[in-house]
Structure 1
Amino acid sequence: MFGEILSYIYSGTLHVSLDKVQPLYQAADLLQLDYVRDTCSSYMFMNVERSTCVDLYKFADVFSLDSIRKTCLKLIHRHFVEFSFNEEFCSLSVNQLAEIISQDELDVKEETTVWEAVVRWVQHSREDRLHHLPSILPHIRFNLLTSDDTAAILEHPLVRENPGGSAIRNAVKGTSNLKKRFGMDTLEMALLFTERSGDKSTKEILWTNPGEGKHIRCNYNIPQLAGTVTRDNDIYLLAQDSLTMNELLKYNHIRNEWEHMSSVRELNPNGSNILASPDYLKEIDGQLFYLVVTSSESHVVLRKYDQETNRWHTVPHTSSTPNGWFDQNLVVSCNRHIYLFTETEIHCYNPRADQWCRKNKSDNIQIALHNAVAIGREIFCIAMSFDKIMVYDTETDSWCELPGWLNTANEIGNIALFAIQKKLHAVVDYDGLGSREHRNGQQAFVYDGFEGVWKALSVLPEERWYMYDPMIPVARMYLPYLNPSPANTEGAGNTDGRPGL
């Protein structure tokens, strides 16, 4: 590392990489070379991700790099279950472990998950760590456990054989009023927007789980174009910022508001035209893609978002890039690929190879697909008639059919598909409901795969929810943060929060 620093002193050039940034920082700290130290610190901050955050957290904790340490902690809290099985987690110091498991933001469904992680940490070096157990256990929230779970912990060999057994039992009794963890009040919910006016303004978002009868309304006033949810449960929206520019927004779960990320030039020059193709925002392997099939030039335009630089880059056209007049199209991300459905063709984009290819379009699928959703490796597609569901298996490149909604007594105005807890849901917008109070309403249905039928769920709260989006984003929402004020409750499960950008 001194050789690297000596080279920098003579050349003014510093070469930093993940494998040497930590020892380089230590050498710069010892020699009080502020520029080298700051450069290493910035590099580590920009490279905090799931694969590095535990290691960088331990380093940042030792050298008091607070911004890096806090950023790492956020990722560790979010992915605690995954990290708790890693070798790096077992190498944490007792103080680092205590800091992590003491936080409200820990994303766990049950408190037993925290206890099991502590057991793995202790058993990794039992002789050296067993005596730390009495100081760790007060950070486990025994008030959130059942009496059976608590009894099982007290009978665990680590507790029974511990020299500080009485201190442990006192610790168990002393955690009586600790609050729930961040991930304990979560529910998968779909995002619906109010029907847009001529300027595409959106007054409200409805977070809904029709099966649970839970509907939460929030006013963000976002001119939304497209949305997606990443594998890390990050929610992104493309919002219209001007006639020529769109803006990428990211949802902050804790603050219940949308944060500005970056701007991107409008890919659909005829966005105000009702016949123009929609804007699509998709995620593959943590990368965001903005895609549109332009109605003027009849080809696919694709841009990729670089989170490190906070910039968008156009994916160059190749000979395999789809071209033609795609009057009706759907774009779905599934099985680590992006699929473009047209009336006659399927095109598939592989981000890892940066290449398009053509897939099989069944001879029986000769109608314009209206809506689609991916569940696992399959893509479920419907037409406006909703008389059947066409299922495309992305691995076998084959099609099959499922029954649609066969209640022909009601006239369908529009329909949207989404998946909650891997179950196929639909929201139907129609004018023919029998009861007068529900006429012109929107009702949710769930597909019962065992019986092969659609079952009615709740009617959505009164509003014209926008049903033309090709895919409805679904995310795991943290209800106490989404609905912080009990005064906002409107009946059973309906709330009317008023956060903003």
Structure 2
Amino acid sequence: MLPRGTSSPLCRMNESSPDGLLFNDHDFSSELLRQLNGFRQNSILTDVSICAGAWEVPCHRNVLASSSPYFRAMFCSNFRESSEAKVQLKGVNSMTLDQIVLYVYTGAVHITADNVLPLMEAASMLQYPKLFEACSSYLQSQLTPSNCLGMIRLSEILSCKTLKKKAREVALTYFPEVSASADLKELCALELRDYLGDDGLCGEEEKVFEALMVWIKHDLQARKRYMQDLFRLVRLQYIHPAFFHHFIANDALLQSSPSCQVILETAKRQMFPLYGATSAPDLQPPWHIPPRNSYQDFLILLGGRKDNQQTTRDVLLYNRQTGQWQSLAKLPTRLYKAAAVSLHRSVYVLGGMAVGAQKSVPSHNVYVFSLKLNQWSLGQPMLAARYSHRSTAHKNFIFSIGGIGEGQEVMGSMERFDSICNVWESVASMPVEVLHPAVAVKDQRLYLFGGEDIMQNPVRLIQVYHISRNTWFKMETRMIKNVCAPAVVLGERIVIVGGYTRRILAYDPQSNKFVKCADMKDRRMHHGATVMGNKLYVTGGRRLTTDCTIEDSASFDCYDPETDTWTSQGQLPHKLFDHACLTLQCIPHTSTFP
């Protein structure tokens, strides 16, 4: 008997833990399952045999009934199998039956390439959803561009949504590789339409067109009737004009369809307005459709003076998604005050002063950069060597304007590169020879704003070149006083960005009027500017301080026309001026499929 006033240990425990003790044996259920599996293996207390043909596996009804709704219905209802000693499972082979029973009693099964399909079918029939999804996960891990279309077929047979979703992602992400597989030729018209019309398809439109034509020609008589509807899904406005000109415009199969002819004529008129394509008012392709989601805008900086040292060969890429800068293949040579434009998913670097060890001379060379390959190649050279010139691109043309020539003379000449025919040709010279104007193209007209004359005096002119007519006219204006300033097209207006001033001017070609925008923080010149996502990005340059000294800049700023505000995007990797700054729209390189 406890001494007076002493409580029992049980009472003390209850006082400290009023709800008692919850004991949880984590090993009990697995040990129980292990014991039941041992009973099964030794046919102890087994009361039913599951059969696949002549193959029999002794089991316990209560274990099977507890493991799946399929067996619960079989053994706990008034079905004939509830009282039979042997139960046949149709559509399940002996090896798969063993694996299913092993899974029921152990929760484990080894999935391989040889057994995954019969195991998945059995898991579906016998209602083991986790095993079914495990098989799906294994198949997803085996997906490649060459088998993904077949996997989609399989997922539809098995009603497996997760496998179908993943296989479709692979098909869209690696469409160029998928289009080379034999399975693509076996798609029905609706299935192909589903792919070609998907915004998420990752592949250049040239590949989309090629895939379509391969599919049609595989069974021409049966599939020709689908050609018009499917051809309309090819976004012709994003196809390289040279490819369109050489491989699409005069394709005999497309020409045999009157409806496709109308689409082709409309595309010609949109792509080649200078070539006088005939009018096609009906069935116009939807030219307002944006590029597929796989296309991204990348900001690229090329050359220029780095950290106030000699002209650099560096090429930098900025990814808006990550906010990171990365180095690309360097320019083939040092080029002082070259010009650069983006055209057809490539960068063209034109002329410049070729900086050599012995002598620097103006160049007429053209270098072409492929972001997809991260490689430079030599293009068709310009007619005249020039540097400190301006260049711009429009449709399938590049214009190279003015600059300084081989005799150090200020040039008023302009030449035009036709990317379809791969030739340069002389066009009308500018009315007034100027250096360092702001240049932009809008609505079939090329605009030169300001600049300076040979005496370095600002020129208060807008010089306008009508592209299809090959004629110039000029307008005097007191609003213009820019030198070494870039111009960009932002919406319906041309924006002149600084140029020995903080001022940002937006010019409306329709009304011939200027609107002042929010000023930059600094008076800038020799900087770069480009547009991405309807916002203006300004890079580097030189700035005039309040005491009129000149400093190199590494600033990286963004202007939003919706709010008329500037925000800093951080800093460039280094100070930079007299560089090229442009936007390149392309599909990021997809790494080889593992």
TM-score with structure 2 length normalisation? 0.44
The one-letter code of the counterpart of 2:431 is: P
Match of 1:252 in 2: 370
Q: 1:187 aligns with which of 296, 300, 305?
A: 296
CA distance in 2, matches of 1:396, 1:364: 15
Deviation of 1:228 (Å): 0.9
Q: In the alignment, does 2:438 pair up with 1:330?
A: yes
1:286 to 375, 387, 396: 396
Partners of 1:210 and 1:444 within 8 A in 2:
no
Q: Whole-Å Cα distance in 2 between the matches of residues 237 and 340 of structure 1?
A: 20
The equivalences for 1:231-270 within 5 A come to 232-239=344-351, 243=361, 245-268=363-386
**Equivalent in the alignment of 2:313:** 203
Task: Quote the residue 1:154 is aligned against.
Answer: none
Mapping for residues 112-151 of structure 1, pairs under 5 Å: none
* 1:306-364 Cα shifts (integer Å, max 9, x gaps): 345533222255xxx4135x3552222233322112231011111210111113x5423
Structure 2 vs 1, CA of residues 183 and 420 (structure 1 numbering), >3 Å: closer, same or farther?
same
**Letter matched to residue 190 of structure 1:** L
8 Å contact from structure 2 (residues 438, 482) kept in 1: no
CA deviations on 1:10-49 (whole Å, 9 max, x unpaired) are xxxxxxxxxxxxxxxxxxxxxxxxxxxxxxxxxxxxxxxx
Deviations 1:210-232 (A, max 9, x none): 575132211323334111122x3
1:371-410 equivalence runs, <5 A: 371-384=486-499, 386-406=501-521
**Contact persistence 1:369–1:382 (CA under 8 A):** no
Residue from 439, 451, 460 that aligns with 2:563: 451
Matching residue of 1:357: 473
Task: Indicate how the Cα distance of structure 1 residues 243 and 441 shifts in structure 2: closer, same or farther if over 3 A, else same.
Answer: closer
Instruction: Give distance in 2, aligned partners of 1:97 and 1:283.
Output: 40
Shift, 1:446, TM fit: 1.5
Mark the CA change 1:413 to 1:375 in structure 2 (over 3 Å): closer, same or farther.
closer
Alignment match, 2:575: 464
Give distance in 2, aligned partners of 1:97 and 1:287.
39
2:155 equivalent in structure 1: none
Q: 1:234 to 1:109 in 2, by over 3 A?
A: farther
SS at the partner of 1:246?
Answer: coil
Change (3 A) 1:292 1:431: closer
Aligned length: 310
Is there any run of 5+ residues in structure 1 with no aligned partner, and where? 1-76, 81-93, 137-181, 272-277, 434-438, 486-501
Q: Against the structure 1 CA distance between its residues 453 and 329, is the aligned structure 2 distance closer, same or farther, given a 3 Å change threshold? A: same
Structure 1 counterpart of 2:447, from 331, 339, 345: 339
Query: Where does residue 312 of structure 1 map in the other structure?
Result: 424
Residues 118-163 of structure 1: CA deviation (Å, up to 9, x unaligned): 99x99xxxx9669x9xxx9xxxxxxxxxxxxxxxxxxxxxxxxxxx
Q: 1:228: which partner in 2? A: 341
Letter matched to residue 387 of structure 1: R
Q: Which moved more, 1:295-304 or 1:251-260?
A: 295-304
Distance in 2 separating the partners of 1:199 and 1:456:
25
Distance (Å, rounded) in 2 between the aligned partners of 1:96 and 1:251: 37
- CA separation of 1:238 and 1:200: change in aligned 2, threshold 3 A: farther
Q: What amino acid sits opposite 1:261 in the alignment? A: G
Residue number in structure 1 paired with 2:537: 425
- 8 Å CA contact 1:291, 1:301 repeated in 2: yes
- Give the one of 200, 205, 208 matched to 1:110: 200
CA distance in 2, matches of 1:233, 1:128: 36
Question: What letter is aligned with 1:110?
Answer: G
| Contact 1:432-1:440 at 8 Å conserved across structures | no
1:21-40 aligned at under 5 Å gives the runs: none
Q: Percent identity?
A: 15
Distance 1:346 1:375, change over 3 A: same
Which amino acid in 1 is paired with 2:565? V
Q: Does 2:214 match 1:214?
A: no
In structure 2, C-alpha distance between the alignment counterparts of 1:220 and 1:185, rounded to whole Å: 26
Deviation by residue 1:385-418 (Cα, 9 ceiling, x = unmatched)? 5532111112221111001124x6xx86864321
252-261 or 209-218, which moves further after superposition? 209-218
The residue type equivalent to 1:229 in the other structure is: S
> Using a 3 Å threshold, how does the CA distance of structure 1 residues 404 and 210 change in structure 2: closer, same or farther?
farther
Match of 1:166 in 2: none
Q: Give the CA deviation at 1:205.
A: 0.4
Q: Work out whether residues 482 and 500 of structure 2, in 8 Å CA contact, stay in contact via their aligned partners in 1.
A: no
Q: Which amino acid aligns with 2:380?
A: S
Partner residue of 1:24?
none
Tell which has more relative contact order, 1 or 2 (C-alpha 8 A, sep 6+): 1
Counterpart residue identity of residue 288, structure 1? I
C-alpha distance in structure 1 between counterparts of 2:481 and 2:390, whole Å? 23
- Structure 1 pair 199/383, CA: closer, same or farther in 2 (3 Å)? closer
Cα distance change, pair 460–347 in 1 and its aligned pair in 2 (3 A): same
Q: CA deviation at 1:427?
A: 2.2
**Structure 1 CA distance, aligned partners of 2:488 and 2:570?**
20
Q: Does 1:416 align with 2:506?
A: no
Distance in 2 (CA, whole Å) between partners of 1:291 and 1:190 is: 23
CA distance in 1, matches of 2:378, 2:363: 13
